[in-house]
Structure 1
């Protein structure tokens, strides 16, 4: 069944995002109802992968449906990189091939997450409109031959992308296979810090006008009195291009904000069309493994359901914990709601220096880890392994050798296993007692140049603070700094260098009313414009922490120390010279802990175990050996489903599940 041809898009290119983070679109008015209809299409957790039939001929297409039935596939993403196939020349569309696949999938009972195809423009767009190509900070223009070769601020790119999205929406609005829209693909994966062309520069100036209203306000926020950088005209401001020395840190942080917002505006331009034409179909896009590029907390309200791509390295002994952290982020984007694993690899990937295969059972374990942390779908890139192209050695559900392979047998077994657990679908992860705060503007500010140490790695620090909880099988939500903190007994805050007075007041109130705060070094240093809080570090946190940091003492070996003067706090761990390194301060009805150093993993685990014990935080399951974790999902009927993940070789006995507190 197919729809009718569409009229062309209106070419609207206005940004949907303002400098203060609000959007012209927001979530779909009936997004929740649309999501209910999506879930009603699936009798059990979503299972399948990226389907790219344009790479193959009719004889393969017939086999695909047969193999999908055998593997238990009930959901595929379709058409992600099919723009050039669908619009081979400007304004000329060929939907016949897609019609056939939509009909075939509908007949097989497979729901389709249909892509808008705008992740990778066809070569004709660059040929006719070279200004759509991105420019690097050094002035180098990037070209076609890969993917994501487009400037996010380009009105020409947005016009063509929106036009294609509208055509697709009108044609397939009533198609029985359509279950979910997939906009773009992995935004910011390659164009990470946006573009430095003249169009982007003009858009940056517009964004800054909206954020600051006046040049005086911008000059104040950017501290331009330093190094004679004061601007007297908006036209003097450029993107942070290659420069002789250290760039302005506030300008760099704002450019990160702008870049995230401009990519969001591209997403929203397509979403607005889809929401208008197909309001009953939910919308998503897939985020890459947690990265510095996008402020995901600003994006999340505009996705009806969060989707994520996960690629743990089989050679990395810490991969499971890093993956768990990312899944905790995905769950936190929507306040604990389930999310979709839209991509993972059945075995090896193709883009690392050494692309190790997943040993037997590892793909199953990885998939159940996602489900344990809130995933309502387990999909792969891709369904069938490509014969040519840059990702031909990336594993797929159907390998080059076909069905008689270990990979396809494991894929089929997992599909059958997931189908046996319909109650998992849309069950919610049990409430955590611990939250870890993650803040993208802080990330951007912390990792600028000319700091006391160049060794600050915000993501690495966040992972280090998450690991003791993961190892102890303690559930943890990852939240933004403006989240509701009241449900949590323990709040873990890594390196909150950039801290507004308002956020500091919320943290202080959290402790005063009975919460336990564990915050690490180099926090509370600057405001949201990277201006130092005067009067002593850690600025607005001095009172709640009960101390002053008089000096920083980074060492050549990358270790960190601080000269701390106690102002009510007690020293819990001292340095060799007797100075405080870890402190504890009773404040109101709560307690604030401060780490003035970067403890070794064992010491940090010991400290976090003590802090969470004092806060009354318990693991999901007691007595689990190292390498075994457990998580709980709660069904709509209130049934608690505990999933135990054993990352070792061997067996494990688990005590019966406790009732929810």
Structure 2
């Protein structure tokens, strides 16, 4: 097979398909079988070498490349491209023994012991020196091999070393603060350091938020920001080495984007990725895992420039191994999950991992080849998915149209909400945002989950759920969206603190108070088990507010209880045709659905449980129909169904649990 490079192009000619490949766990006879089974399954890309540092640099400065040379050659012979990883996720034992100071330290000042992943301090200059040396050696040896098509920096950065509190990190943190604030006066003002008499007289007196005592939330927030920046700096250092040797190859690292605030601020990292890549795993206890897939995809698409395709670097064929009870996926779920990601903009589907491990911490994690081998239903589904992805090759490079609904999601807001005491300390930022996403997802409305600085133009509705921390710029951009004719929906606990985590005075929701035409005088969080009812029949729990209405009209009020007759949901019409809706109450799922339905019309003729996703290029439209229900469905469609290669003449039959993709000409 011939190979060709195009600067920073997509790494494969069709949709990418494969997995993390860890041949070092197996003997040479298994390697040959692996390539044969990969070819049968349609695998065209593997991530190689992720945890191989100690196997290629066997001692300080002593390299042994033989086994990796053999694997690289074997994959080339099989026509399988390589996403070659820098092995810095796993520092070798000789390095940890010789330089124990590189280990990260937890908030109680206990060093992490060897044995896990990412066992290094992001601020350590010692680790950086060793890491860049092995990266350079790897790039020099393999960077110009034709079938090495992409670089994969480290692995899940922050997933083990997201916060380090050691003295080296403390000094780096102080330097970060000097650059951010310039003067101690500015730092003390931003942190409200006069509280409890914590005013700083020297930057040297600042320490990371160590220990379990109550901490200044502004300090904690800045340490979270610093920690994300330190990990990004390490990624950029590795990237610089790779680009110096192989400027023609795309460089990425695998994010961990889901419905929770990430340990690092991936949306702020995305601009530094040639291809944005993500790892996503559903949760066994999640009652609607398919919506979690959609949420992750809607975030990923919004992170890319102009909604360009992204890469699903890891997900699971079936059960994972790190949850309390690890549910095996149901029949067809592997394919539904995978093609849902493609429908949400992924141009590749990858798994952890290729072959299930016999030993080690993840020995019961599912894989493309399970412990039972290739003569299994799971491997046959892997082959079926590979055939589907080959059929979907024309989808490569197509993009989703602008979504009707934008939902703001910000890691910094999630960090601020989670740290320090709050009126209700059981509210989870990710869950609150996902509840709003779920309501619009049930309507099959197209959604993008946006960072606050994203382009907001083109959406019909912008939802601002629990955006606890809101900067002035974000508030102004949301107001401008509404002023230009859009509908803004703001939920409780939004706009409460500024970018320094200081409460905005004058009444809640401070940053959005003027836009909404309301003022909350007091939070009224509910106790466990308490509920409320509104006068239009909507219900909920967890949160209510004492609200005063100014220029807004009341859509629903509290019925019964201490807030009887008080406003709960309001709407303010704006001169440009837009409006600003405020939801002061913690509505349940059905009530949020009713509110969403009043804002966005659901497509007709789509049965419950069927998800409809659209991608398109200049000439064609690709419509994905994913049936999450256990009953067959019939939908209106015209074109050619790509997985069965059959014409669709107005009516599409969609079996229970299956996926169909209709290709049609783009009109207008």
Q: Does the pair score TM above 0.5? A: yes
Contact between 1:249 and 1:449, CA under 8 Å: does it hold in 2? yes
> Aligned-pair distance for 1:643?
0.4
String of CA shifts for 1:577-627, please: whole Å, max 9, x gaps.
1111100001222100001011011011000110224xxxxx5x5322221
> Aligned-pair distance for 1:315?
5.1
Match of 2:651 in 1: none
Match of 2:612 in 1: 630
String of CA shifts for 1:365-399, please: whole Å, max 9, x gaps.
11111111111111111111111111111111111
Distance 1:653 1:514 in 2: 36
Match of 2:190 in 1: 221
- Residue 250 (str. 1) matches residue 211 (str. 2): no
Q: Which structure features the higher share of strand residues?
A: 2
Distance 2:283 2:200 in 1: 47
> Aligned-pair distance for 1:483?
1.4
Distance 2:6 2:453 in 1: 27
Structure 1-normalised TM-score? 0.91
Distance 1:563 1:660 in 2: 51
Contact between 2:552 and 2:570, CA under 8 Å: does it hold in 1? yes
Match of 1:600 in 2: 588
Distance 2:410 2:251 in 1: 25
- Residue 585 (str. 1) matches residue 572 (str. 2): yes
String of CA shifts for 1:230-265, please: whole Å, max 9, x gaps.
000111100000153x21010010011011111111
Match of 2:286 in 1: 316
String of CA shifts for 1:482-516, please: whole Å, max 9, x gaps.
11111111101111221122221111111111111
String of CA shifts for 1:259-301, please: whole Å, max 9, x gaps.
1111111111100111111110001111124343111111100
Match of 1:15 in 2: none
What secondary structure, in the 3-state scheme, does the structure 1 residue paired with 2:570 have? strand
| Counterpart among 569, 573, 588 of residue 552 in structure 2 | 569
String of CA shifts for 1:403-424, please: whole Å, max 9, x gaps.
1111111111111121112101
Distance 1:330 1:348 in 2: 23
| Counterpart among 83, 87, 90 of residue 113 in structure 1 | 83
Match of 1:240 in 2: 209
- Residue 471 (str. 1) matches residue 471 (str. 2): no
> Aligned-pair distance for 1:83?
0.7
Contact between 2:518 and 2:547, CA under 8 Å: does it hold in 1? yes
String of CA shifts for 1:30-83, please: whole Å, max 9, x gaps.
xx96232x34x42x2111111111111111111111111111110110001111
Distance 2:322 2:511 in 1: 44
> Aligned-pair distance for 1:539?
2.2
> Aligned-pair distance for 1:450?
2.0
Match of 1:20 in 2: none
Contact between 2:256 and 2:262, CA under 8 Å: does it hold in 1? no
Match of 2:661 in 1: none
> Aligned-pair distance for 1:660?
7.2
Contact between 1:219 and 1:225, CA under 8 Å: does it hold in 2? yes
Distance 2:352 2:267 in 1: 25
Contact between 2:257 and 2:299, CA under 8 Å: does it hold in 1? no
Distance 1:68 1:539 in 2: 56
What secondary structure, in the 3-state scheme, does the structure 1 residue paired with 2:82 have? strand
Contact between 1:472 and 1:629, CA under 8 Å: does it hold in 2? no
> Aligned-pair distance for 1:480?
1.3
| 1:505-654 equivalence runs, <5 A | 505-557=476-528, 559-576=542-559, 577-589=564-576, 590-613=578-601, 619=602, 621-635=603-617, 637-654=618-635
What secondary structure, in the 3-state scheme, does the structure 2 residue paired with 1:271 have? helix
| Counterpart among 476, 485, 501 of residue 472 in structure 2 | 501
| 1:203-214 equivalence runs, <5 A | 203-214=172-183
Match of 1:9 in 2: none
| 1:60-209 equivalence runs, <5 A | 60-192=30-162, 194-209=163-178
What secondary structure, in the 3-state scheme, does the structure 1 residue paired with 2:79 have? coil
Contact between 1:513 and 1:588, CA under 8 Å: does it hold in 2? no
Match of 2:310 in 1: 339
Distance 1:656 1:470 in 2: 20
Distance 1:400 1:486 in 2: 50
- Bigger drift between 179-188 and 94-103 goes to 94-103
Contact between 1:329 and 1:478, CA under 8 Å: does it hold in 2? yes
Distance 1:94 1:458 in 2: 48
- Residue 374 (str. 1) matches residue 374 (str. 2): no
Contact between 1:348 and 1:395, CA under 8 Å: does it hold in 2? yes
> Aligned-pair distance for 1:317?
2.1
Q: Which runs of 5+ in 1 are unaligned?
A: 2-31, 614-618
Bigger RCO (CA 8 Å, 6+ sep): 1
The CA RMSD over aligned residues, in Å, is 1.7
Distance 1:431 1:234 in 2: 46
What secondary structure, in the 3-state scheme, does the structure 1 residue paired with 2:634 have? coil
Match of 2:8 in 1: 35
Contact between 1:46 and 1:378, CA under 8 Å: does it hold in 2? yes
What secondary structure, in the 3-state scheme, does the structure 1 residue paired with 2:338 have? helix
| 1:237-386 equivalence runs, <5 A | 237-244=206-213, 246-290=214-258, 291-314=261-284, 316-335=286-305, 336-386=307-357
Distance 2:184 2:427 in 1: 32
Contact between 1:628 and 1:646, CA under 8 Å: does it hold in 2? yes
- Residue 403 (str. 1) matches residue 384 (str. 2): no
Contact between 1:572 and 1:584, CA under 8 Å: does it hold in 2? yes
Contact between 1:622 and 1:655, CA under 8 Å: does it hold in 2? no
Distance 1:60 1:71 in 2: 16
Question: Between Structure 1 and Structure 2, how many residues are aligned?
Answer: 619
Distance 2:8 2:523 in 1: 50
String of CA shifts for 1:335-361, please: whole Å, max 9, x gaps.
411111111111111111211211221
What secondary structure, in the 3-state scheme, does the structure 1 residue paired with 2:7 have? helix
What secondary structure, in the 3-state scheme, does the structure 2 residue paired with 1:206 have? helix
